[in-house]
Structure 1
Amino acid sequence: MSEQTLTKAPFNYDVVGSLLRSDKLKQAREDFVAGKIDEIVKNQIQFDETKRIVEKQAEIGLHAVTDGEFNRSWWHLDFLWGLNGVGRYDYHQSYKFKGDKTRTDNAHLVDQVRFNPEHPFFESFKKLNSVVPEGVLAKQTIPSPTMLFRDNRSDNWSEFYDSWEAYLDGLADAYRDTILHFYELGCRYIQLDDTTWAFLISKLNETADQAEEHAKYVQLANDAVRVINASLEQLPEDLTVTTHICRGNFKSTFLFSGGYDVVAEYLGQLHYDGLFLEYDNERAGGFAPLAKIWNGDKDKRIVLGLITSKFPELEDQPTVIERINEAAKYVPLDNLALSTQCGFASTEEGNKLTEQQQWDKLTLVKDIATKVWG
C-alpha cells in the first residue's frame, strides 16, 4: 500500500461535508429569531454543538472532519452572501426537487465580486480548527465559483464589468484570495461543492439534437473549467483542494439524473486533487467515464459516493466492495476512495434519517474502506 493511499487527502474513507443539525442547534436558532436568546448565547450553543460533532467524527476514525456546516442555513448561499459584491434577495421561486421544493432565497450581484477579509466563514473556520484533535485535518467546504453564474445570480453582470470574461476573471480572483486566506488561518483541506456539472449533464443530454441551445451549455462548461482552474492557480503545494459533484440534496430528494459521460472531458481538465462523485444509485450511470475524469493523473483521487446519505438503510458491504473493484477497472485502486454520495444536510432541514443513523453511515464508509485498502 502506498504512503499516499494512507496519508494524503482526500482519504480512503472521507466525509463530504454537511451533517444533520442537532435539535439543540435548531432550537437555539428558533429562540434567537424569536428574541428569546441573544446572538452570544446562540453562537455559544453552535460552538458547543460543533465541538461535539467534531469529537464524534474523530471517534469514528475520520482523518478529516468538518463543522457539519452548522454555521449556515444553505450549503451555498450563506457563503456567497459573505463575498463583497454579492447581495441577498427573494427570488420568489424555489428549487423544484423531486417531490419537494425549497425556500426562495437567492443571491445576485450588487457590485464587482471581491474577497471579503471579514467573511464570517473565516471566524467559523478558526473555531473549527481550535477543537480538531491533533493528527486530524479540519476540512472546509464552500460552494464552487460556478454557483455565482447559475440560477440568475449574475444576470446583471454587465452593470459592473466590461465583458463576461472580465467577470469570470474577477470572480476567480475573489475565490483565490478567499482560499489563500483560509490557508493563512491554518486550513490545509478545502472542498468546492458544485451542482453545475449535474445541471450540465441534464441540459447537454436534453439538447443533444438542438445545436444552438446545446452550444450554450457547452460554453457554460468551458466557462466553468476556466473560472475553477483560474481560482486554483498558484496555491500552496500542501493545500489539498477537492470538489464534490452534487446532484441535489434536499430532505432526501434530488434534482438531476444522468451519467457522467457528457461532462467527463471537462471534469478531467479541472485542477483538483480529488473529485467526490455521486454513485449511490442508477441515476449516476456507469464507471466508464471515470477513466476520462481521472485522466491518468497519479496525484488525483476519485472518491466514490457509493453510500447514500439520503436514507437510513445500510448498504451491503460485499456489494459495495464489488462496485469499488469494478471502478478499479478504470482508475487504479490507489487512486480511489469511498464516501457517502453527499452530505446529510445540504440545507438546515436535513435528510430523513436520525443522527445515529448518520454516524452508522460514516462508520460503514470507514469499515468498508478499511477492508479494501487496509
Structure 2
Amino acid sequence: MHLNPPFRAEHIGSLKRPRYLLEKRGEFDRGEVKYEELRPTEEQAIQEVVKLQKEIGLKAVTDGEFTRHMFFDGVFDNLEGMVHVADVPLTMFMEYVPDTAAFKHQSFKKADSYLCKGKLKRTKPFYRAQFEYLKSLLPPEEHKNIKLTMCAPEWFHLRHGPYAYPAEIYKTDEEYFADIALAYQEELAELYELGCRNIQFDDPLLAYFCAESMIKGMVEQGIDHERLLQLYIGTYNECIKKRPADMNVGVHLCRGNFKDGLHFSEGGYDRIAAKLFNELNVDCYYLEYDTERAGTFEPLRYLPRHKVAVLGLVTSKFAPLEDQEELKKRVYAAADIIANGVEPRSKEEALNQLCISPQCGFASHSEGNAITEADMTKKLKLIVHTAREIWPGQV
C-alpha cells in the first residue's frame, strides 16, 4: 500500500439536480417520454455541473450521479442473476438494518429491491458510459481527476439476510461473494483501461456496524456480527486486490442521507476502527463527521501512515453554512489524534493524511436534500477555501 491522497477539497459524489432534470426524469418514469428524449437533458445538466465544479476549484470531478435514481445504482441492476422485484414483502428486509427499520416504521407494507435468482455474472459494463461521457467533457490531462462512485458489494446481502440468495444457487456466503468480487475485479480492470484512476465505494452499511441498535438486533437473531463484518472486509479486499497501484480506491461511510436530511443510525467509529483502518485495503476513507452522532475523532488513532482520512465536516443536509475557523480547528484536532495515535508521527505528517469534504452527497436519491443549488455551491466553495488555508499550494 502507499500514501495516495485524494484532493484536499473533496465532495462525496452526488450533487443537487436542477429542477428541469427532475421534471424530465419524472416524465420518463411515468412513461411520457423515451430515454432518447431524457438523455439530452441529462447531458445538459452534467455539462453544467462539471463546469460548476471546475469554477469552484474542485479538482475531482463527478457527473453528480445525474443519471441515477439512487446512489447505489449501477452494479446489481446490471449484474446477471439479479432480478428487480417490485413488491418484496417487508419480512424479507432485515429489521435490524437501520434503514429498513425506518421504512417499516413508516408503515410500508412492501418495497422494491433486487434479489439474487441465479448465478451472478458481469456480462456488461456497470459504469463505463458514465465515465466515457465525463471524459468527453474534459481534456485528456484531467481524465485522471474523474471520480466514479459505486455501490458497496454487500448492499443487498445485509439488507436481505437469509433471503439474499437461493440455497440451490449458492451454498455459502463465501460462494456468493466470490462471484461478486470477480464482477468488481472485471469492472475495475475495464475502467482502468479507459483511464479511470479514482473510485469511491459508497457504504453506509459499514457505519451501521457502529450502531448499537443493529448489533443488538443481530445478537437477538443469533447472527455473528463480527463474522459478518470480517466477511464484508474480506469481500472488499477481493474486489480491489488486482487494481493497479495508481488507482486510488476509497470507501465512504455515513449513517443515512435520505429525504429531508433523514439519517438512520448513530454511533462513533470506535467499534470498527481498528479493522476498518488496518484490514480494509483501501487508500482513503470518506468519513461522516458533521454531527455528534458520528462520535469523536478518537478512532482516527488507528489510522496507519499509508492511508488518508477525508473528514466530512460540512453537512449536506441543511442550508446553514459552517464557520470556517471552526472547521480548521476540527481538522487540526483530528491531526493531533492521529499524530498521538497507535503509530505516533509528527503533526505535519498527520495533517498530510487529511482532507476535507461534506459528510455525504447532496442527493443520495434523485430528489436530494432540503437545500438549494445555491446553498450547495456555497458549501463547496467553503470547503475549497478552508482547504486552501490549511494546505496552501495543495488545492
Asked whether the two chains share a fold, i.e. TM above 0.5, the reply is yes
Match of 1:216 among 224, 227, 239: 224
* Selected match of 2:176 from 167, 170, 193: 167
Contact 1:205 1:262 in 2 (8 A): no
Deviations along 1:330-350, one digit per CA (max 9) or x if unpaired, are 220000000000000101121
**C-alpha distance in 2 between matches for 1:129 and 1:145:** 25
Q: Which moved more, 1:108-117 or 1:156-165?
A: 156-165
What TM-score, normalized to structure 2?
0.86
- Which residue type is aligned with residue 308 of structure 2? R
1:67 match: 63
State the shift of 1:95 in Å: 3.8
Q: Where does residue 20 of structure 2 map in the other structure?
A: 24
Select 1:125's aligned residue among 131, 140, 145. Answer: 131
- Alpha-carbon distance between aligned partners in 1 of 2:8 and 2:72, rounded to the nearest angstrom: 26
Q: Give the structure 2 partner of residue 242 of structure 1.
A: 250
1:267 equivalent among 264, 268, 276: 276
What is the CA RMSD across the aligned residues, in angstroms?
2.4
Q: Per-residue displacement from partner, 1:86-107 (whole Å, max 9, x unpaired)? A: 1111335484559979993211
TM-score w.r.t. the length of structure 1 is: 0.90
Q: Take 2:385 and 2:202, find their aligned partners in 1: how far apart are those partners?
A: 25
The residue matched to 1:18 in structure 2 has which SS?
A: coil
Distance 1:177 1:257 in 2: 35
Bigger drift between 341-350 and 135-144 goes to 135-144
Q: Give the percent of matched residue pairs that are identical in Structure 1 and Structure 2.
A: 33
Deviations 1:10-67 (A, max 9, x none): 1111110111111111111122234443321211110111111011101111111111
Residue 363 (structure 1) aligned with residue 372 (structure 2): no
- Whether the 8 Å contact between 1:203 and 1:217 is mirrored in structure 2 is no
Alignment partner, residue 46 of structure 1: 42
Q: How many matched pairs? A: 364
Q: Counterparts of 1:204 and 1:238 in 2: how far apart (Å)? A: 39
Q: 1:350 aligns with which of 355, 358, 368?
A: 368
* Distance change in 2, residues 1:247/1:132 (3 Å): farther
Q: Secondary structure at the match of 1:291?
A: helix
Q: Distance in 2 between matches of 1:100 and 1:65?
A: 36
Please say if residues 58 and 133 of structure 1, whose CA atoms lie closer than 8 Å, have aligned partners that are also in contact.
Answer: no
- Note if contact 1:79-1:143 (Cα within 8 Å) is conserved in structure 2: yes
Structure 2 residue 76 is matched with structure 1 residue 91: no
Please tell me whether the aligned partners of residues 286 and 311 of structure 2 are also in contact (alpha carbons under 8 angstroms). yes
Distance in 1 separating the partners of 2:373 and 2:19: 10
Deviations 1:180-204, CA, capped at 9 Å, x for gaps: 1221222111111101112111148
Q: Does 1:289 align with 2:285?
A: no
In 2 relative to 1, CA 217–87 (structure 1 residues): closer, same or farther, beyond 3 Å?
A: same
Greater alpha carbon shift after TM alignment, 316-325 vs 107-116: 107-116
For 1:257, the equivalent position in structure 2 comes to 266
Give the secondary structure class of the aligned counterpart of 2:167: helix
Query: Would the aligned equivalents of 1:9 and 1:189 in 2 still touch at CA under 8 Å?
Result: no
